[in-house]
Amino acid sequence: MFPYKGFAGKWLDVDLTHGTLVAREMSATWAERFLGGNGLGTQMLWEKVGPDVDPLGPENLLILAAGPLVGTLMPNSCRMEAVAKSPLTGIYGDANAGGFFGPELKFAGWDAVVVRGQAPRPVYLAIADDRAELRDAAEIWGQTTSQTEASIRRQWGGPGVKVACIGPAGERLVRFASIQVTSQRSLGRCGLGAVMGSKNLKAVAVRGQGSVRFADPARSHALAVDFHLRLRSNPIYKAVSAHGTPGIVSLMDPLGRFPTRNFQAGSFPDVDKINAEALEKRALVRHLACSGCPIGCDKLHLLPDGRFAGTTLHSVEYETLNAFGANLWSGDLDAILKANRMCDDLGMDTISAGRAISFAMELWQEEILNLEETGGLWLEWGNAGEALRLLEQIAAREGLGDLLAEGVRRAAQVIGRGSEEFAMHVKGMEIAAQDGRAQRSMGLAHATSNRGADHLKAFPVIDETGYPDEARRRYGEAFLPEMAQPLATRHKPFLVKDGEDFGAVVDSVGVCKSGGTFVLAELYWPDLAAALEAVTGMEMPVERLKQIGERIYNLQRSYNVLHGISRTDDRLPRRFSQEPSPSGNAAGQVIDLEPMLDEYYALRGWDLCTGWPTPDRLRELGLEETACRLYPE
């Protein structure tokens, strides 16, 4: 009998090749060592998906999981996690989304759904509490994600069903295809939609009528109330609530941290056309929130007129405003929103899609691509219309789009002729909208992230604009002033390591990084430890929770080491170290990564030459089997 509350206590084992569905009891040992969500997925991937497995082959797993705090009273306890080997990077991959699917999965009585094999024909998985079945998806194969959700609600689940599904891009194995979750939330990064497409799995739909049980209901309630009140009284609560992530667009611009023309610069002259105020004036309909969220950074938008009149969408994010705006030298807000909706409907990550197009535009600028090679597309900077056409081609895998659908690393390898210089990726994943020249910690975070260039693993917000009070509270006076200064390198390896370990726990329990743990920087290790104790009944001293975070991060790194990753892969494109930023507060700056990497590896207890976790460190973290596999001698 699974001993802990908070968890549902079982997971659904789905073998698409044989069409079997088996309910399996959660392992108490797994829960104690890796919690759920991200940690659970990491452990399953480590055990079952070896280096010889093709990410788009039937042996890859797709793990959808909701951690032990998901569906509870804790604020922002709504996150779901997807884990698989990434077809974009070929290494560990994950994605995380808010909304309502995660809680619904828990209410249905499941901690995770683990999908393996390949269905002989398109299917979708329908879960209604204890009952699960594979249903024919022939009629919905080819539909957009919004059409798919509507079809499944009509055919099977009714209006309350929550759906995670792929669009045409996932079906065609675009390597940065997303899984879209009810209400236009995205499991965006790492191309996990292509994993789903490779399995002929169109969607997972869930309906649950149960609830989450608490080990100590009174304590859980008291903590939840305390957390809610603290978030609401946080000094930047109102700013985040009012504008969501678009609220940082205008702020990142003078910092020189707003990537423009494929990272050639960090400021955009037309930023006022695409910032939060412009978005609100043009298209805001109403404020929304994910399950259990007191902040409500989500918004509903509608283009009321113009060439894309009637386009609606949720969750216009900072990243997308950059990817299809400044990144393409475009101040055409309507076209940005249209591109966002196209990505949501076709099922693609807006970050990677935008970077793939800016990569092509820079190749056009450098005359590496000509009109014949672009299939007649004029890819000069700012041509939003051609960008939309190229976006369609990527999803359809037509023309130049077919090549870009492979991601910029593979596309550059095919194109050659020096194009590799302009492929802005780390470990094969396109870089999100930050610039290490303007914020040192973020440069290191991009380089070390286990899923490739990504801001959300370490998510170092403390020095983004300067959070001296939070830096003092979390790390102590000794870390100031540098810890809160974006251009300082001192203490940043510590900030990144702590963020990666804490982030691994945040993604494993199922709370939101934008909802108090990183953005707002309100809830920290002691808060999550207390919440876990109250909800699950596990003994969870802070030091134990920290070790779990470090264990998860080291297991992901070890998985990547098995796939050939080493220090030479913890790198940034040459541009960041050789081309001084021309922009704002970062003007004249480059990033020198190597000294920070030395310090980071030392803090992690990793080998300075290889960047591998040492056997001793792995054993200290309770990863004996991992140490044996990495060091068989």
Partner 1 sequence: MPAVTVRYHNILRSAVGLAEESVPLPENAALYGLLEALAEARGSPLGEMLLKADGSVVSHLVMFVNRKLITGDPRSVPLADGDEILLFPSVSGG
Which of 294, 468, 537, 622 is in the footprint of partner 1 by CB under 8 A?
A: 468
Provide the mask over 513-532, with x wherever binding to partner 1 is found by CB under 8 A and - wherever it is not: -x---xx-------------
Secondary structure (3-state) at 12 = strand
Token match 């700056």: residue?
589
Q: What's the residue count for the chain?
A: 633
Provide the mask over 566-605, with x wherever binding to partner 1 is found by CB under 8 A and - wherever it is not: ------------------xx--------------------
> Which residues 6+ apart lie within 8 Å of 556 measured at CB?
42, 92, 450, 504
From 101-109, 224-232, 337-345, 459-467, span contacting partner 1 (CB under 8 A):
459-467
Q: Does 405 bind partner 1 (CB under 8 A)?
A: no
Segment (H or E) for 168? helix 168-171
Which of 455, 492, 497, 567 is in the footprint of partner 1 by CB under 8 A?
A: 455
- Quote the distance between the C-alpha of residue 84 and its chain's center: 13
H helix intervals, 537-592 = 542-562, 574-578
- Quote the distance between the C-alpha of residue 305 and its chain's center: 32
Which of 432, 444, 504, 591 is in the footprint of partner 1 by CB under 8 A?
A: 432
507, amino acid identity: D
- Shortest CB 203 distance to partner 1, Å: 29
- Shortest CB 91 distance to partner 1, Å: 22
Nearer to partner 1, 251 or 396 (CB): 251
Is the backbone peptide bond immediately before 481 cis, with ω within 30 degrees of 0?
Answer: yes
> What CA–CA distances, in Å, run from 322 to 44, 355, 469?
35, 10, 29
Nearer to partner 1, 295 or 596 (CB): 295
Nearer to partner 1, 56 or 488 (CB): 488
- Using CB under 8 A as the binding criterion, the count of chain residues that bind partner 1 stands at 41
User: By CB under 8 A, what part of segment 197-236 binds partner 1?
Assistant: 235-236
> What CA–CA distances, in Å, run from 585 to 251, 419, 541, 577?
11, 29, 41, 17
Using only C-alpha atoms, the chain has a radius of gyration, in whole angstroms, of 23
Nearer to partner 1, 119 or 586 (CB): 586
From 158-166, 377-385, 483-491, 522-530, span contacting partner 1 (CB under 8 A):
483-491
Which of 27, 118, 155, 250 is in the footprint of partner 1 by CB under 8 A?
A: 250
Which of 36, 41, 102, 247 is in the footprint of partner 1 by CB under 8 A?
A: 247
From 196-204, 205-213, 455-463, 566-574, span contacting partner 1 (CB under 8 A):
455-463
Which of 104, 362, 386, 464 is in the footprint of partner 1 by CB under 8 A?
A: 464
Which of 162, 243, 338, 551 is in the footprint of partner 1 by CB under 8 A?
A: 243
> What CA–CA distances, in Å, run from 25 to 2, 32, 67, 101, 508?
7, 14, 15, 21, 18
Distance of alpha carbon 177 from alpha carbon 191, whole angstroms: 5
Report the C-alpha dihedral over residues 139, 144, 146, 150, rounded to 10 degrees. Answer: -10
User: By CB under 8 A, what part of segment 347-386 binds partner 1?
Assistant: none
Token match 């995660």: residue?
102
Which of 9, 102, 292, 486 is in the footprint of partner 1 by CB under 8 A?
A: 486
125, β-bridge pairs: 134, 204
Nearer to partner 1, 243 or 301 (CB): 243
Burial of 539 (0-12, 13-18, 19+ CB in 10 A): exposed
Q: Does 461 bind partner 1 (CB under 8 A)?
A: yes
- The DSSP result for 127-154, as a single string, is EETTEEEEEE-TTTTT--HHHHHHHHII
User: By CB under 8 A, what part of segment 255-274 binds partner 1?
Assistant: 255, 267
Distance of alpha carbon 204 from alpha carbon 126, whole angstroms: 6
Which of 248, 278, 447, 523 is in the footprint of partner 1 by CB under 8 A?
A: 248
Which of 51, 217, 269, 481 is in the footprint of partner 1 by CB under 8 A?
A: 481
From 150-158, 190-198, 462-470, 570-578, span contacting partner 1 (CB under 8 A):
462-470
Binding-site ranges for partner 1 (CB under 8 A)? 235-236, 238-240, 242-243, 245, 247-248, 250-251, 254-255, 267, 276-277, 318-319, 432-434, 455-456, 459, 461, 464-469, 481, 484-486, 514, 518-519, 584-585
